[in-house]
Chain A
Amino acid sequence: MRAGEYIGVVGENGGGKSTLVRILNGLLKPESGDVRILGGLDPAVEPFEVRKHVGMLFQNPDNGLVSPFVEDDVAFGLENLGVERDEMRERVRDAMRSVGLEGYERRETHTLSGGEKQRVALAGILAVEPDILILDEPTSMLDASGRREVLERLDVLRGKKTILHATHHLEELFDADRILVLKNGELAADIPPERLFSDGGLMRKNRLVAPTLLRLAESLGIPPRRSADELAAEISNRVRARTSG
């Protein structure tokens, strides 16, 4: 992974996605082989040093939160690093702004929706100012609006951080630079999203299913469209072109 890349990780259950992301920040040690973060750090040897640079967001929004109040939760990582008070306040404020949680400082975390909780967890990670973000199915337990909230915030980070995003929802990876496909613990493909989505054979072999909108476009013989509106516009234009011609 190069600095600033947005990389998707997909593959069937049991393919190795979660194992991979856990090795990258030292939660698991590899049996053999080597991981190097930022050129030199080895997560198996210096997990705590690595975690200053690698922030990790998990599936379950309830597992990511530790404090009763939002701002304490966001500050938690910084407190552990011994960051000085004024700087901490500033970094917490910046992090909360970057995930759209201004005004939530004194809210109790247990009263938040799933999407809000994931944004609090993300703010806590961003406050530590990591270079790398690892996202392990961060939207899989959220409803549609919670997913949108989290994805919008991740979109803003594109290019600013190096991001590895594991997911079962392929439509979340339309704008990824590359997608890694894992199968039975091996790298089955390393491929740009548009090429993966249009390669039916590769998709089937790896038990991947294209998002509904893509399948709908494909069934109608229309190139991929990202939103229902864009697809509807294309269909309507084709109908109009026929009826007026």
Chain B
Amino acid sequence: MRIEVKNLRHVYSPGTDFAFEALRDVSLTVEAGEVFGIVGGTGSGKSTLVSHMNLLLEPTSGEVLIDGVDARTMKKSVLRRRVGLVFQFPESALFAPTVEEDVAFGPERLGLDEDEVRKRVEGTLGMLGVGHLAPRSPHALSGGEKRRVAMAGVLAMGPEAIILDEPTAGLDPATREELLNVVRGLKESGMSIVIVSHDLDEISEVSDRVCLMEGGSVKAAGKPSDVFYEHPENAPGTVRVALAVSERLFPDTVGRPVRFSETVEALERVMRRNP
């Protein structure tokens, strides 16, 4: 699925004393099958932006096109099945007595038969590594387990694109790494993925392209190597080290690695190079 955002503007509480322009003229495209990372400080408009992608918010002006079709002309129930949104701290919305019932809730509402529902519940819980939790109460799980159950509930709807808003906030590093592997797996399956995060290290590991938001506008968008090397104040540790080494030796000595493994390789090359 391709998601295009064109000249999007969003004003909260328009026409009141509290009117606040959260997005000003944002344009970007999430290509089919890519992982698109959105970074930027608190209040930069990241969550407001992604809330437009399944019409939780409607644009004040501008538009969102889903495979070329204006989202506002689509039936909300259809749009939300096709574009899954996993909120920040989605575990707060878990409600059913057991994990499997919670995950089954969405697919059941789609009118799927019992077998298909069961297949989807088992499939998504298994993919997220929490199949063994199916009979348990979601409320008695750890933070990382709850997060995965909540994600399973969205994936069980069979979306073509998924939006993850701060999916790893508050999770331990090993669980974070596992969730990133889930993201890689979803990409393999051809899904378009939008991931919003404060964690530049993790965004740089999984994203094909990134967008840096500031004050409700897109400050930069493109390949991670371009965006991060041109905005080092918002770059992951790998980029800051590579850039600082190049500055100390001579420009572009290290090249423009972003991911951890690329950066280790590039730095090793510099350290081993013959004089």
Residues of A within 8 A of B174 (CB): 12, 207-209
Q: Which of A14, A142, A213 has the most CB of B within 10 A?
A: A14
Mark contacts of A208-245 with chain B using CB atoms, 8 A cut-off: 1 yes-contact digit, 0 otherwise.
11011101100110000000110111011011101110
Interface of chain B residues 167 through 185 with chain A (CB within 8 A): 169-177
State whether the Cβ of B188 lies closer than 8 Å to any Cβ in chain A. Answer: no
In Å, the complex CA distance between A32 and B113 comes to: 49
Is there an interface contact between B172 and A212, defined as CB atoms closer than 8 Å? no
**Known interface pairs A168-B172, A216-B267, A239-B271; 19 further A-B residue pairs with C-beta atoms within 8 A, sorted by A's residue number:** A14-B142, A14-B143, A15-B172, A113-B41, A137-B170, A141-B170, A144-B200, A146-B41, A168-B170, A168-B176, A211-B237, A213-B241, A216-B238, A228-B244, A231-B244, A235-B241, A235-B267, A236-B249, A239-B273
In Å, the complex CA distance between A219 and B234 comes to: 24
Q: How many residues does chain B have at the interface if contact means C-beta atoms less than 8 Å apart?
A: 42
Mark contacts of B226-243 with chain A using CB atoms, 8 A cut-off: 1 yes-contact digit, 0 otherwise.
000000001011101101
In Å, the complex CA distance between A13 and B143 comes to: 6
Residues of A within 8 A of B267 (CB): 216, 220, 235
Is there an interface contact between A236 and B169, defined as CB atoms closer than 8 Å? no
In Å, the complex CA distance between A80 and B69 comes to: 57
Interface of chain A residues 80 through 122 with chain B (CB within 8 A): 113-115
In Å, the complex CA distance between A209 and B178 comes to: 12
State whether the Cβ of A198 lies closer than 8 Å to any Cβ in chain B. Answer: no
Given contacts A144-B198, A207-B174, contact A235 B144 (CB under 8 A): no
State whether the Cβ of B96 lies closer than 8 Å to any Cβ in chain A. Answer: no
Residues of B within 8 A of A242 (CB): 271, 275
In Å, the complex CA distance between A239 and B267 comes to: 10
State whether the Cβ of A143 lies closer than 8 Å to any Cβ in chain B. Answer: yes
Residues of B within 8 A of A212 (CB): 201, 236-238, 260
Q: How large is the interface on A (under 10, 10 to 19, 20 to 34, 35 or more residues)?
A: 35 or more
Residues of B within 8 A of A170 (CB): 173
Query: Would you list the 3 A-B pairs with minimal beta carbon distance, nearest first?
Result: A14-B142, A232-B244, A209-B173
Residues of A within 8 A of B169 (CB): 140-141
Residues of B within 8 A of A240 (CB): 249
Given contacts A145-B41, A238-B271, contact A13 B238 (CB under 8 A): no
In Å, the complex CA distance between A236 and B201 comes to: 23
State whether the Cβ of A11 lies closer than 8 Å to any Cβ in chain B. Answer: yes
Residues of B within 8 A of A211 (CB): 237
In Å, the complex CA distance between A113 and B41 comes to: 9
